[in-house]
Structure 1
Amino acid sequence: MNILTTPKALQDYAKSVKRTGETIALVPTMGALHAGHLSLVEAARKSADRVIVSVFVNPMQFGPNEDFAAYPRTFEADAAKLEAAGVDAVFHPAPEAMYPAGYATCVEVTGALTAKLCGAKRPGHFRGVATVVLKLLLLSGADKAFFGQKDAQQVAVLRRMIADLGVATEIIMAPIVREASGLALSSRNAYLSPDERTAALVLSKSLQEAHDVYETGEKRAKVLKEITAVELSKEPLAKIDYVELYSFPDLEEIERIHAPALLAVAVYIGKTRLIDNIILGEEPCC
């Protein structure tokens, strides 16, 4: 497995692969890898000749009061998992390699896609995401890039970006991977105490409650959001950041569900902000 630490090294590796006529799948991550990340790697391996995984904690997508410094960094363990998973190359640059002195370019998707959900709560977050992902796509020459549904808003933003800019990469969204308890896998779960981890189960429980009611025929967005919020409020350790329901993938306001819709929640469990979601209606094919 190749470990690449500079943008030029990644670009040179990608060019060497492309010269052979092989295809490339990219899995962008911030490390602290878990089974959810590895499910993306598995899907990538089935779809392309070579798999590149980036492990980069991107400072540009963190706000001034967020957890950039504390974000878990476990590269040696991550590299071992990726090698065992059959990854061909890992891109692990330092921040100064991605954003050297004089760096002055950002990419921003504006409008409804980034003005709500996590975009409303984390100003500048999706600008940082779009900037780093576009750079990774250009450097890697990826034919496909894989992201998890847990970050469904991110997927919608990135699909808008590549459509607008004419980037020839397919953005593929893979299903959320959950523990047997229902808790969505997340690197931030490491911040939770045992009691908080138990409390965090309320996220998936609330979404499932709304899903079950939807399956009985309830299609009103207001009702489904209320059901979710009521369930979340039953957990004393949970502080609701948002409960929202929008059409997917365009994230427009809707009163009733007639096509795929994203029911999304963000909740503080103690000091840790967790997100989760479910797609109601026919899920987009991944």
Structure 2
Amino acid sequence: PTLAALQAGKTVALANKESLVVGGELVMDLVKGEPERLLPVDSEHAALAMALRHERREDLKRVVITGSGGPFRGWTRSELGRASVKEALQHPVWSMGPKITIDSATLMNKGLEVIEAHHLFDLEYSQIHVLIHPEGQVHALAEFRDGSLRAEMATADMRLPIQLALAWPERLPDGVGPVPLTDRPLTFEPVDREAFPAVDLAYRVGGLGLTFPAVMNAANEVAVMAFLEGKIPLTRIVEIVQSVVDEHDPASVVSIVNIERADHWARQRAVEIIEER
């Protein structure tokens, strides 16, 4: 649907990051020279769009996308192996569906967002950083070559990024309530990459390109469902995805056919790995 809408000359408010993760090259080719025909609804990417608006690309040094850390912030790898489905579905900031909530628990969601940002804003992966921000008020930051840093802040309410996308480039009044600046301090932490390897996996897969991102996404969907059904522990999700990625024989992303083939193979292989255990 995303490709069809863009091919028809429509402007798309993109609420599904998977289109860009698996087929970013195909999608972005359709908006070449007209980037504002593709407007992100993801809160982090909507914030980045605002932070980078009217800025010269040569002045940009790096961007930071934030995440709350999910329900397991501060947990060790061994503790995560004992996490229950009920615990994993208790997101501290957002109320979402089960699949994306589990992605937030493993931080795979942040990994997918890194790849999304790479395509949307034509950034090198080395320019995209991830920080944990438990308060959920700063959604993205942009750092410029003069050392200045621009933070886009808002209450955690999806009405704002949706409104920004639908009204772009205008701002509508009374989108959400004000940010409570004096209620509590703002904190930022590095990602615990040992406990949450999904972020590094996404950087690696994004850098490899080709059909690797499609395979990562498909295998992750299968593994998340297996966790929700009680078949595997939480920590097995990324392990299974890693195994499928390592076995993949990639193809170029020149058509939707190659993506569909990679997706189908990855789902089958993920199921086989789950059943082997």
Q: What TM-score range do you get, normalising by the shorter chain?
A: under 0.3
TM-score (norm 2): 0.25
Larger strand fraction of residues: 1
TM-score (norm 1): 0.24
Larger helix fraction of residues: 2
Q: Which has the higher contact order (CA 8 A, sep 6+)?
A: 2
